[in-house]
Chains A and B, each alone.
Chain A
């Protein structure tokens, strides 16, 4: 299957700082990437849909000024958590869709963010 690489796999940052998470599709061009957040023992919550070359579409309740998404190329999308707070601590996962109807949305390894 297709490979999606996410970096870093874990990060600890101080409250008030910003953290950037990268998501790369290694062997295919991903016109669409998705960013999820998952709190312990809960399911995936879609935060935003990132389309190459255009603005991301954010889900209701997700602050677009706090979670900056940039999809500058067909193989890279970044999520920047700005002015992070302890309540932003979570597991962030990206997925990428290969063009086509039957697309399984391959996932990156996830990033464990801890804000102290």
Chain B
């Protein structure tokens, strides 16, 4: 079956750095997405990786290793507004998005 694993919850301090990991086992791979979702709101797109390596976009970076079925989202200079759930999703061989359960990130002052 298809499976995406990410930690349920993480806590970090304002101004610090946090890394959210995601491992996946899917039938085929056509890219990995990270989304941010605040409580009661729809997800918003953060990043997309299809090749191995690091993609940097401002305070957020995403890394992919296809051979390991592994990705991480790195958030730098954390701000209180970064408190949200972070969803990892993989596009499988049918180009369908397979979703992880999300990681709830709690930022403390």
Q: How far is the CA of A101 from the CA of B94 in the complex (A)?
A: 11
Interface size range on B against A: 10 to 19
**Pair A43/B99 contact, Cβ less than 8 Å:** yes
27 A-B Cβ contacts within 8 A?
A1-B45, A6-B42, A43-B87, A43-B99, A43-B100, A44-B43, A45-B99, A46-B96, A46-B97, A46-B99, A49-B96, A91-B40, A93-B43, A101-B30, A101-B95, A102-B48, A104-B33, A105-B33, A107-B42, A107-B43, A107-B44, A108-B42, A109-B42, A110-B40, A110-B41, A110-B42, A112-B40
Q: Mark A75-116, 1 if CB is under 8 A from B, else 0.
A: 000000000000000010100000001101111111010000
Shortest CB distance B43–A (Å):
5
**A residues adjacent to B (C-beta < 8 A):** 1, 6, 34, 42-46, 49, 91, 93, 101-102, 104-110, 112
In the complex, what residue of chain B is closest to A1 when comparing beta carbons?
B45
**B residues adjacent to A (C-beta < 8 A):** 30-31, 33, 40-45, 48, 50, 87, 95-97, 99-102
